[in-house]
A and B are shown apart, each in its own frame.
Chain A
Amino acid sequence: MAVYLEAFRMVMAPDVIIAILLSSIYGLVVGSLPGLSATMATALLVPVTFYLSPIAAIATIISASAMAIFSGDIPGALLRIPGTPASAAYTDEAYAMTRKGQAELALGAGLWFSALGGIAGTLSLIVLAPPLAEIALSFSTFEYFWLALLGLMCATLVARSSPVKAIASMLLGLLITCVGMENPGGIARFTFGFTDLLGGIEVIPALVGVFAVSEVMRAMISTDPPKMPKRKYDSIMAGQWMLTRKDWRQMTRGNFVGIIIGVLPGAGADMAAWVSYAMSKRFSKEPEKFGTGHPEGLVEAGASNNASLASGWVPALLFGVPGDTITAIAIGVLYMKGLNPGPTLFTEKASSMYALYIVFIIANIIMIPLGIIMIRIAATVLRAPRSAILPVIVLCCAVGSFATGNSLFAVLTVAAFGIIGYVMEANGYPVAAMVLGIVMGTMVEQSFVTSLIKSDGSILPFFERPVSSVLAALTIGALAWPILFWAWRKFQATPASAKA
């Protein structure tokens, strides 16, 4: 009981409450601006978290990301432009509802089911984490190696791109972590004589470059999105209770799918929304209504993407394996704040863990009033032209990355990764896979080399322990899956074309 009280005391500290409120507003605004994603919002927050207490730092990330995922629905419903990639799956549907004069219902559903989904995800985190921590305590470097690799493979599987390119991006990320002295031999590796590279390539500037600078670069050659029309709204929450009673099956299914996808390392909110929307259509009694402004898919996908956000923290907290790109950033913050991910977090820092649960629940509850305000003022906020917002973003990129180590080299890293991210994205190489490689590279290498030293250079022990053999089988399965899928389709296509 004392632990719970301690957790409450931690969350109720004035700095934490202020951090939650301000980061919520920040998340709502950034998420609703088309082109600025939830991941970018989180990456730009990291330098600010240096100066906060551990709980306040985690709270800013949790609340900003949850709000941004919801508010991405707003321009989706009003302009048919998703504010974040996680809303892209059901943008058409929401826009069709707006055209039918049901903007309130569409936006309200986004808000209400986002909040419920977030709470469901939090519950899954509370329920799943302790038993998994129990199992994780018996893990050795072999299991950690396979787990990290499985996480990386999942990230490449769900990337909406060619699996070969996704794997190549992930390997590039791993290669980037090779730079510097932090390797098993402690020797300067790939530093080309630069002392700035001895410490390795910093994760935070790399993330800011890939997610923020490359986005500004893309904006340079695209046109301004259309202006949002000013409009009056009726009650936004009216009708939501009816919708919940009618579509509770879809909502529950969305929550479950979101939770599962969130727990899977590497797959995040956008994937959850795509899968849930497709599932909703597949199992619907009236699939023909989808795309014409039918709330069913909206309910399921909206519930799903926010649920995945919370459950993505399960592998991040337990194993240091990010559940999506947002938790990839969060892991960096956890390390910085002395809350190193791992099963012992639940025994040694139990009160911090409970505080984290409480923050999640608070963030999802205050999402409703703040979200209603945001919807009502969205037309005004979104009127701010890009040419006034992006200069500030670029300045924050420069100053924020400088703040990570008070070195100008970090600013160069941001610029370099902006270019890398832009070129990769333009050529179909998913940057999210590379980011996960960068975040997990050190862990993969450490567990790999330590295991190899333990086994005297033999790879057989990697498959001998029971848990590690299961994880190995899953990893190899994930690698083989695209090949099998491709072969199966080839096989199906050949007889058909032979007949014709």
Chain B
Amino acid sequence: MRLSDRITGGFLVVLGSVTAYAGSLLPPVPGQQVGPNVFPLVCGSLIAICGLLIALGIGRTFEDEAEADFSAHVGVIESDLPQTRLYKLRVLIPPALLLFYVLAVDGLGFVPTAAVIAFVIAVTLGANLKLAIPVALLSPVGVHLIFYKLLRVPLPDGLLPMPW
């Protein structure tokens, strides 16, 4: 997800301007000139300025130096896997699974939902079934035992209540 500085800078300009404007519309504390409006106004304007500078490429030299310095010290592991656009979408799997957790946990219950998540992550990271299935079966139960039993977090039982 490497975007050009023009895109990220432009995004910050828009974000900053919108929040500064929206902030300035908020009412001040009654009887005072200032209130909840000031801080978003200041932050938003400064973000917009930073965005403009980034889009113009100012400060870029520092970044190149830091990168060169870092890769000189630490051997960067080059991936030999195909780095196509589709392949890179894999990074969205963890947040997607968290979204799945939010949607499914109340209906399915913690242990089945967690088992699905653990299984998918293990398989995407290249585990074979001999490893992925035990991970999917054991890790939800372990996490449930620690958080539900010891730390008393009210995890939903759903379809599969645990004996403790």
Could you tell me if A168 and B12 are in contact, using CB atoms closer than 8 angstroms?
yes
Report the Cα distance A406→B118, complex, angstroms: 21
Could you tell me if A423 and B43 are in contact, using CB atoms closer than 8 angstroms?
no
Contacts of B136 in A (CB 8 A): 391
What are 24 A-B contacts defined by CB distance under 8 Å?
Answer: A81-B74, A92-B74, A160-B66, A162-B59, A164-B58, A165-B63, A168-B54, A183-B36, A187-B27, A213-B94, A217-B95, A220-B94, A220-B125, A222-B79, A391-B136, A395-B139, A400-B147, A412-B99, A419-B92, A423-B1, A427-B3, A444-B39, A452-B34, A457-B34
A2 interface residue, CB < 8 Å from B? no
What's the least CB distance linking B95 to chain A, in Å? Answer: 4
Within 8 A of A (CB), among B97-115: 97-99, 101-102, 105-106, 110, 114
Q: Select the residue from B8, B75, B125 with max chain A CB neighbours within 10 A.
A: B125
Could you tell me if B121 and A390 are in contact, using CB atoms closer than 8 angstroms?
yes
Contacts of B96 in A (CB 8 A): 415
Interface flags for B128-156 (1: CB within 8 Å of A; 0: not) read 00011001100110110001001111110
Contacts of B73 in A (CB 8 A): 88-89, 91-92
Contacts of B58 in A (CB 8 A): 164
Contacts of A165 in B (CB 8 A): 50, 54, 59, 63
Within 8 A of A (CB), among B2-22: 2-3, 5, 8, 12, 15-16, 19, 22
Could you tell me if B143 and A395 are in contact, using CB atoms closer than 8 angstroms?
yes
Could you tell me if A399 and B50 are in contact, using CB atoms closer than 8 angstroms?
no
Contacts of A403 in B (CB 8 A): 147, 151, 153
What's the least CB distance linking B21 to chain A, in Å? Answer: 12
Contacts of B47 in A (CB 8 A): 168, 171-172, 175
What's the least CB distance linking B68 to chain A, in Å? Answer: 11
Could you tell me if B1 and A80 are in contact, using CB atoms closer than 8 angstroms?
no
What's the least CB distance linking A390 to chain B, in Å? Answer: 6
Could you tell me if A220 and B91 are in contact, using CB atoms closer than 8 angstroms?
yes
Interface flags for A301-333 (1: CB within 8 Å of B; 0: not) read 000000000000000000000000000000000
What's the least CB distance linking A71 to chain B, in Å? Answer: 17
A349 interface residue, CB < 8 Å from B? no
Report the Cα distance A399→B139, complex, angstroms: 12
If A190-B19, A221-B91, A449-B39 touch, does A397 touch B63 (CB 8 Å cutoff)? no
Within 8 A of B (CB), among A196-228: 213, 216-225
What's the least CB distance linking B138 to chain A, in Å? Answer: 9
Could you tell me if A178 and B39 are in contact, using CB atoms closer than 8 angstroms?
yes
Q: Using a Cβ cutoff of 8 Å, how many contacts connect chains A and B?
A: 249
**Cross-chain contact of B50 among A167, A217, A444, A457 (Cβ < 8 A):** A167
Report the Cα distance A51→B154, complex, angstroms: 13
What's the least CB distance linking A370 to chain B, in Å? Answer: 21
Q: Select the residue from B59, B136, B153 with max chain A CB neighbours within 10 A.
A: B59
What's the least CB distance linking A237 to chain B, in Å? Answer: 27
We find that the number of chain B residues with CB closer than 8 angstroms to chain A is 92
Chain B contact surface mostly: helix
Contacts of B28 in A (CB 8 A): 185
B62 interface residue, CB < 8 Å from A? yes
Could you tell me if B8 and A429 are in contact, using CB atoms closer than 8 angstroms?
yes
- B61 — nearest CB in chain A belongs to which residue? A486
Could you tell me if A387 and B121 are in contact, using CB atoms closer than 8 angstroms?
yes
B159 interface residue, CB < 8 Å from A? no
Interface flags for B28-71 (1: CB within 8 Å of A; 0: not) read 11001111111110011011001101100011111100100110
Report the Cα distance A406→B106, complex, angstroms: 12
What's the least CB distance linking A327 to chain B, in Å? Answer: 23
Could you tell me if B98 and A394 are in contact, using CB atoms closer than 8 angstroms?
yes
Report the Cα distance A388→B124, complex, angstroms: 11
- A185-B36, A391-B119 known, 16 other contacts, Cβ within 8 Å: A82-B74, A160-B70, A171-B46, A184-B36, A221-B87, A221-B91, A223-B81, A388-B127, A394-B94, A395-B143, A399-B147, A408-B106, A411-B101, A415-B95, A427-B8, A456-B33
Interface flags for A171-185 (1: CB within 8 Å of B; 0: not) read 110110010000111
